[in-house]
Structure 1
Amino acid sequence: MRPPLKFAVIGIDHNHIYGMINGLIGEGAEFTGWATSAETPLSQCQRFGESYPDVPMVEPDALLDDASVQLIVSAAINDQRAGIAIAAMQAGKDAFVDKPGCTTLSELEAIRECVNATGRKWVVCFSERLQVESVTLADQLIREGRIGKVVQTVGLGPHRHNPSLRANWFWQRLRYGGILTDICAHQFDQFLHFTGSTQASVVTAHIGNVANPDRPDFQDFGEVLLEGNGGRGYARVDWLTPDGLPTWGDGRMTILGTHGTIELRKYIDIAGRPGKDHVFLADQKGVEHFEATGAGLPFFGKFYTDIIERTEVAMTQAHAFLATQLALQAQAKAESQQ
């Protein structure tokens, strides 16, 4: 039987919090309490409370002071996540934060210093990899050698911006961090993961506002070219998903190997097969389509073990730092060229 793991939540401003919580609960972790900022809408708090009716809402300090809590989970407003994580680690707890883990390079440096000083973990939930079963299957196919050595990734991350549903902070550059810091964080994570790169740099980056002139502080388009010691990568992200698409975004990842390619159509096979988590493989033998539903999501089980045993199987600290650093560097490079 596993040793117990108790966690608490500080910050529920992004709906990613539900997947983070449910993934931990699914592995047997105990959700003991939650808190959020005064900026969180009352309706959002009510819905969250109804989702977890047996878990009390308490003050953040009470959660940080509770010695039985081993992990603080946060999907707070983007510019609040670094402060919450640092407070958690200083209180002797590990931190599990939604992407982006922070919004400035100075915040990232403060997090590094805190990790080094406390020995606690700072792990970022890159849900477009960690909570997608087609990624699990792609990992298996790559381990089997089906496409040879991975040499490049091309990631597409379109999103629907749903303006009527967004809080004021969503439109404010200093609060959400910019498009490459925010939603492109997933792409930096996947590039490092699939290419196996442990060192990487931003070759070029671009951002723009192409469809929201009434929101001059908002960025709805971004792209980046990456070079790593395990391969190269290109990513494009945007807030331009049309209302006619029956999901929030047609997220895709193409993985180029020396002997074949894998394409993930994560959330929809547009005008094609029903459902999600489609994997297409082309190798020396031919072309195959796989439905990855049921492939599993191994991250949370490994993460639970990492917390208890102080290992780094689910995600290394170096990976969380590098993926976040690349996002922040790309954002800075793109903005310096405007």
Structure 2
Amino acid sequence: MTNLHANRRRFLQQTVAAATGVAVGTTSLSDAFGAPAIISRSTTQPGASRIRFAAIGLNHGHIYGQVEAVIRGGGELVSFYAKEDDLAATFAKRYPQVKRARTEEEILADKSIQLVVSAGIPDERGPLGVRVMRAGKDYMADKPGLTTLAQLAEARKVQKETGRIYSIMYSERLENKATVKAGELVKAGAIGQVVQTIGLGPHRMSIKSRPEWFFDKKRYGGILCDIGSHQFDQFLHFTGSTQADVLAAQVRNVHYPQYPNFEDFGDVMLRGNGGSGYVRVDWFTPDGLNTWGDGRLTILGTDGYIELRKYTDIGGRTGGNHLFLVNQKETRYVDCSDVALPYGTQLIDDILNRTETAMTQAHCFLATELALKAQQWAERKA
């Protein structure tokens, strides 16, 4: 059995475990991919479908979170396409009512399909998005939604020409309840004017579960482009910046010399027209932690600050979605486990109404541009 096939088998086992709640070995999907497990089923049955959508590219487990977000918003999943039979089999087990298309073109030619979602190999996501938009459909990619500045330029050009939506699911904000709540508090003025964000994105390596493309920077874009993209999105969102510059950036391969095209550490300093930002991402979450990474976000304001402990609280509270608010009146803990996640509903609203409530197109592309420029800066300085 080749390493690729072995890794894919592990992927399937872990995906099934997360989707069904049945443990396979000791590794969860979230641990395997160093990202939050966003496969949870909706707590209520969706109503009448508002749009029909399809999936193309199943190479990352985030595809299940993407699909579930759209279903929660009122989408009907009608078809999917994957080149890999094993990934397709796992997806079909999760969604047995959905047709497997024979080709990508079969989905693109179906005029009834309004949205395509993808978690393909990262360097394939941008070109697919261009084809989707040219076929008259809207598109939602897993992060990173684009891996080069040339891909970004083409996506911007085609999006402007077609008027279609190119959305990237920055799940550490859009699918995290504590981060959604923080957005509500900041908008309400709970900490005054935002001055700075500090985003920390540690991830667990789980090296044996990784497919071969994971270690090839040409495929995943580099650490700042990949897992760092979440942090650029949050910086722009919470500071309200519509323009920003990278002040400094670095990337390193500290611990994995056997993978020379891999990066396990990176950090960035940012300045925007709404505030400043600092980002640190890495692949050093120790096995002793009870989840894939102690992801945190601190939002500093003129009248207080908010700290998010998104996936775990090493201080002792169970579960995730922990928010701490300190302002001129109080120090308060907020359990955000019951906060609603609006992204899927808002995206479908935007598809139907041609609006920008889930995420503006300018924001989507600017977050990616900053990630790509930071990656480029770091590589140039290396």
| Equivalent residue in structure 2 for 1:134, among 166, 178, 187 | 178
Q: CA deviation at 1:43?
A: 3.5
| Equivalent residue in structure 2 for 1:87, among 102, 120, 131 | 131
Is 1:56–2:99 an aligned residue pair?
yes
**Unmatched tracts of structure 1, length 5 or more:** none
| Equivalent residue in structure 2 for 1:314, among 337, 340, 358 | 358
Q: CA deviation at 1:144?
A: 2.4
Q: CA deviation at 1:326?
A: 0.3
User: Which residue number in structure 1 is paired with residue 109 of structure 2?
Assistant: 65
Q: Deviations over 1:109-149 (max 9, x none)?
A: 00011111111110110000000000121112212222100
User: Which residue number in structure 2 is paired with residue 31 of structure 1?
Assistant: 77
| Larger CA deviation: 310-319 vs 139-148 | 139-148
Q: Deviations over 1:37-96 (max 9, x none)?
A: 3xx4x4433221110111011121100000000011111000000111011001000111
For the Cα contact (< 8 Å) 2:56–2:82, is it kept in 1?
Answer: yes
**Unmatched tracts of structure 2, length 5 or more:** 1-46
| Equivalent residue in structure 2 for 1:236, among 280, 298, 301 | 280
| Equivalent residue in structure 1 for 2:87, among 36, 41, 44 | 44
For the Cα contact (< 8 Å) 1:74–1:96, is it kept in 2?
Answer: yes
- Identity value in percent: 50
For the Cα contact (< 8 Å) 1:3–1:308, is it kept in 2?
Answer: no
**Residue type of the partner of 1:56?**
K
Is 1:285–2:312 an aligned residue pair?
no
**Residue type of the partner of 1:31?**
L
SS at match of 1:138: helix
**Residue type of the partner of 1:48?**
F
Output the aligned Cα RMSD.
Answer: 1.2
| TM-score when normalising by structure 2 | 0.86
Q: CA deviation at 1:314?
A: 0.7
SS at match of 1:254: strand
| TM-score when normalising by structure 1 | 0.97
**Residue type of the partner of 2:177?**
E
For the Cα contact (< 8 Å) 2:81–2:88, is it kept in 1?
Answer: no
For the Cα contact (< 8 Å) 2:73–2:346, is it kept in 1?
Answer: no
Write the distance in 2 (CA, Å) between the matches of 1:3 and 1:183.
Answer: 32
For the Cα contact (< 8 Å) 1:281–1:289, is it kept in 2?
Answer: yes
Is 1:100–2:144 an aligned residue pair?
yes
Is 1:270–2:330 an aligned residue pair?
no
Aligned residues: 335
User: Deviation above 4 Å: which 4+ runs of structure 1?
Assistant: none
Q: Deviations over 1:11-58 (max 9, x none)?
A: 011111111100111122110100123xx4x44332211101110111
Q: CA deviation at 1:325?
A: 0.3
Write the distance in 2 (CA, Å) between the matches of 1:23 and 1:83.
Answer: 23
